[in-house]
Amino acid sequence: MAGAFDRELQVAIRAVTEAASLCRDVQAGITADVLAKKDRSPVTVADFGSQALICRTLHDAFADDPVIAEEDSAELQKPENHELLSRVLQHVSKHCPNVNEPEICNWIDHGRTRVYKPRFWTLDPIDGTKGFLRGEQYAVSLALIVNGRIEVAILGCPNLPVSPNEGTALGVIFYAVRGQGAWSKPIVGEDTPRRVQVSPRSDPTLAQFCESVESGHSSHDRAAVIAGNLGLTQPPVRMDSQAKYAVVARGVAEIYLRLPTRVDYQEKIWDHAGGVLIVTEAGGTVTDIAGKPLEFTHGSELIANRGVIATNGPLHARVLTEIQALGLR
């Protein structure tokens, strides 16, 4: 007997898997010369290609569902960017033969919704663009939100190991349906899904925390103070994207800190929705820095929240205490 949101889950996993394949193909073509020129076009191509594939799949399966996604095709359609659009077409056509450029732009623009709806998807086609360019961590994140609650979440992490304790095979899909736990499986190949669970550690001196590579995304200085006050002895693991949520969910780290760097900054829902449900269904806790649940009822931004804290659960109250002691609001 099918469970709640089973069809949505299967469609979403298929969409994210296909998009991750496209992203891997693009990333494989990044050379030292491209990096030396600071050429961001590969991530732009992968970003648009990923969104086109996922929005196409969602529209075909759930035509009435709006999508709040990061990109739209306005820049891509400018005459000076025609070469980029041609490259997007090249990669998308490997998955959708006979597609044309207007169709790709229409698929991308299926993600232009910005206002709250009772039921909608939110998508980040590539979360962690600098990690993508460095050949490091990035994620494809997709979540279904119904009546303000995240019901289905998928994180595709092409450069995370399939298992933290086994071999060197890379590429894993994390997924969750509310009330059904968090699971993972390889991006490539058929394998039995594995239950994902957070670490049970309650001693902060034994904990590992992770944060963004870029200090512009999270205050590293304040995070270091909090880590010192908690008695953490390990240096932080810094990685791009919602892969940080994944490593907390699978018990590799206990704390993810995303501390505000500007008073006026509002987090985008596509940067968090997928990871939030993965962590909570794995047994963890996610709030803002005041301890409030994240609110996904305000369109594309988390306007009712400041910062994001994800933990394994037992350490959450202690982390919030240290944040409040610093006077963060």
SS (H, E, C) 86-125: HHHHHHHCCCCCCCCHHHHHHHHHCCECCCCCCEEEEEEE
Displacement of CA 299 from its chain's centroid (Å): 17
Contact 256, 151 (CB under 8 A): no
| Contact present, 92 and 99 (Cβ < 8 Å) | yes
- 237, 160 Cβ separation under 8 angstroms: no
Contact (Cβ atoms closer than 8 angstroms) between residue 125 and residue 48: yes
* CA distances (Å), origin 133, targets 41, 46, 130, 172: 10, 11, 5, 19
Backbone angles phi, psi at 174, to 5 degrees: -105, 140
**Which H/E stretch holds residue 127?**
strand 119-127
The residues annotated with a catalytic role in the active site are: 47, 129
Q: Are 293 and 92 in contact (CB under 8 A)?
A: no
Q: Within its chain, how far is the Cα of 74 from the centroid?
A: 23
Cα separation, 234 vs 267, in Å, equals 28
Backbone angles phi, psi at 287, to 5 degrees: -145, 180
